[in-house]
Amino acid sequence: MKAVVLAAGLGTRFKSEKPKVLHEILGKPMLWYVVSTVRQGGIEDIAVVVGYRAQEVMEALGEGYAYYVQENPKGGTADAVLASIDFWRNSEGYVLIINGDSPLVSPETIRNMQRFLHMVEEYEKIRLGGVVLTSVLQDPTGYGRIIKEEGTDRILRIVEEKDATPQERNVREVNGGVYMFYIPYLLEALFKISPSEKTGELYLTDVVAYMVSRGYEVRSFMASDPTEILGVNTRWELSFAENILRLKLIKYWAQKGVTFHVPETVWIEPDVTLSKNVEIFPGVMLKGRTRVGENVVIKTGAILEDSEVEESVVIEPYSYVSGSVIRKRAKVGPYARVRENSVVGEGAEVGNFVEVKKSEIGKDVKAKHLAYIGDATVGDSSNIGAGVVTANYDGRKKHRTEIGKGAFIGSNSLLVAPLRLGNFSYVAGGSVITKDVPEGALAIERSRMRILKDRGRRLLGNHEDL
């Protein structure tokens, strides 16, 4: 079966320049969810009908789809299907048509609808005109209403809200915007329906009444979860859809052995992978292609983006790790920042207000407070004192700092790159280091300290009242 995704509409109710289908849910365009669902539903051959800002939509989605342009983005959903006619007209059997603003439909539903068609053919020996995904909603406002032959699954027609009589509006079964139509009947119907008198649009939903008039049966297929059919027409519905998908993902990981504290505050994007026994505290964000190993604890407010965190790591509160690797048993934070291809070695500690950029921190290194380590390598078991700064930028270029293993960099030292500090080298606190330090050497760079007896008191005056 082939699939056609309708994504040409203007999305007027979004009040947005950006195409509605490119608005994001958990860091991915809404349309990405629709095409992923179709693909996971077992359909690989997918066309996307674009119109409004077509170029942007095609770029966002990338290769792997056939694109068709609907010239008039106000032509309506049937006009959009007609725009892709060359894609599906010569195929066998049925074609799936799905709205690009239905991101909550599940792959199982797509599979079940296909199965349903096979069952009807196999056991009832009927070739259906089509099957329509429906759901019964508490509040059906905004959706096309499903008008059925009483007591059956046979749909007689779908009435858009604008065209519905008050009685029809009371119908709570609605059209989910997912259809499988028998291609020869669809072709016939698309050329017979006429534009809506109210809007001038050609409605895909009108093919149903036409098919029925020709004696072709169209059936409803009820979504197992009524939220699946949610159409995203407003920004508020986008938030709502995001929330549903977010909780679905969290539930999925919880079932795989991840603990979530206050899951309603946790953000996990769809490409993230977690291992068992991970523990996640409130307000955590896991973004992009982040991978988290077993027994990792991620505490409140931490953000991990496109990063790999190996087993038994602890990410303390409010730390932000991006594009980096945190090796086994390391500890990051609280309030640490690790970014741009950095590696924090096994068992290392990068603590309070430490920033690490494009640097390799060795095994068991300790940098526990207030440091900036940029464009540097720090050898195993070295100690980086509070307030140490690698001055990596001379105003024009970035330079590297290389620190050997077992080194000790005293508090508040400034390491002016390019620089090499040998293994077991020692930098006395408060030094400004501008030359390489050989292995095992002590480097001290500060003016000699003097004690001037009673000079302090004289400067302050006598405070005999204290």
- Return the active site residues: 369
- 33 belongs to the binding site for ligand UD1 (CB under 6 A): no
Size of the site for ligand UD1 (CB under 6 A): 32
The residue whose two tokens read 């049925």 is 94
Residue from 46, 48, 101, 302 in contact with Ca ion (CB under 5 A): 101
Tokens for 189, please give them: 């119907």
DSSP notation for 372-431: EEESEEE-TT-EE-TT-EEE-B-SS-B--EEE-TT-EE-TT-EEESSEEE-TT-EE-TT-
Q: In whole angstroms, how close is the CB of 101 to Ca ion at the nearest point?
A: 4
- 70 belongs to the binding site for ligand UD1 (CB under 6 A): yes
Q: Of the two residues 206 and 217, which places its CB atom closer to Ca ion in the complex? A: 206
- 144 belongs to the binding site for ligand UD1 (CB under 6 A): yes
Is 296:275 a contact under the CB 8 Å cutoff?
yes
Tally: H helices and E strands in the chain? 10, 41
Contacts of 184 (CB under 8 A, 6+ apart): none
Question: Which sign does the torsion angle of CA 209, 216, 9, 228 carry?
Answer: positive
- 29 belongs to the binding site for ligand UD1 (CB under 6 A): no
- 265 belongs to the binding site for Ca ion (CB under 5 A): no
Is 280:266 a contact under the CB 8 Å cutoff?
yes
Residue from 3, 35, 43, 49 in contact with ligand UD1 (CB under 6 A): 49
Helix axes 54-61, 30-40, angle to 10 degrees: 50
Q: In whole angstroms, how close is the CB of 305 to ligand UD1 at the nearest point?
A: 29
Tell me how far apart the alpha carbons of residues 42 and 110 are, in angstroms, rounded to a whole number: 8
Q: In whole angstroms, how close is the CB of 33 to ligand UD1 at the nearest point?
A: 12
Q: Mask of contacts with Ca ion, 204-233, x by CB under 5 A?
A: ---------------------------x-x
- 75 belongs to the binding site for ligand UD1 (CB under 6 A): yes
Q: Of the two residues 231 and 379, which places its CB atom closer to Ca ion in the complex? A: 231
- 201 belongs to the binding site for Ca ion (CB under 5 A): no
Q: Mask of contacts with ligand UD1, 221-240, x by CB under 6 A?
A: ----------x-x-------
Residue from 80, 325, 344, 427 in contact with ligand UD1 (CB under 6 A): 80
Q: In whole angstroms, how close is the CB of 106 to ligand UD1 at the nearest point?
A: 15
Q: Mask of contacts with ligand UD1, 159-198, x by CB under 6 A?
A: -x-------------xxxx---------------------
Q: In whole angstroms, how close is the CB of 215 to ligand UD1 at the nearest point?
A: 23
Choose one: 53-61, 67-75, 332-340, 441-449; the region binding ligand UD1 (CB under 6 A).
Answer: 67-75
Is 383:364 a contact under the CB 8 Å cutoff?
no
- 203 belongs to the binding site for ligand UD1 (CB under 6 A): yes
Is 168:145 a contact under the CB 8 Å cutoff?
yes
Among Ca ion, ligand UD1, none, residue 75 binds (CB under 5-8 Å by kind)? ligand UD1
Tell me how far apart the alpha carbons of residues 461 and 407 are, in angstroms, rounded to a whole number: 45
Is 361:342 a contact under the CB 8 Å cutoff?
yes
Q: Of the two residues 9 and 385, which places its CB atom closer to Ca ion in the complex? A: 9
- 134 belongs to the binding site for ligand UD1 (CB under 6 A): no
Tell me how far apart the alpha carbons of residues 146 and 131 are, in angstroms, rounded to a whole number: 12
Tell me how far apart the alpha carbons of residues 187 and 171 are, in angstroms, rounded to a whole number: 29
Integer CA distances (angstroms), 296 to 302, 308, 313, 328, 365, in order: 13, 11, 5, 9, 19
Q: In whole angstroms, how close is the CB of 9 to Ca ion at the nearest point?
A: 8
Q: Of the two residues 9 and 41, which places its CB atom closer to Ca ion in the complex? A: 9
Q: Of the two residues 98 and 193, which places its CB atom closer to Ca ion in the complex? A: 98
Residue type, 158: I
Contacts of 185 (CB under 8 A, 6+ apart): 129, 130, 211, 214, 216
> Which residues sit at the interface with ligand UD1, rule CB under 6 A?
6-9, 21, 49, 51, 70, 73-77, 79-80, 99-102, 143-144, 158, 160, 174-177, 203-205, 231, 233
> Which residues sit at the interface with Ca ion, rule CB under 5 A?
101, 231, 233
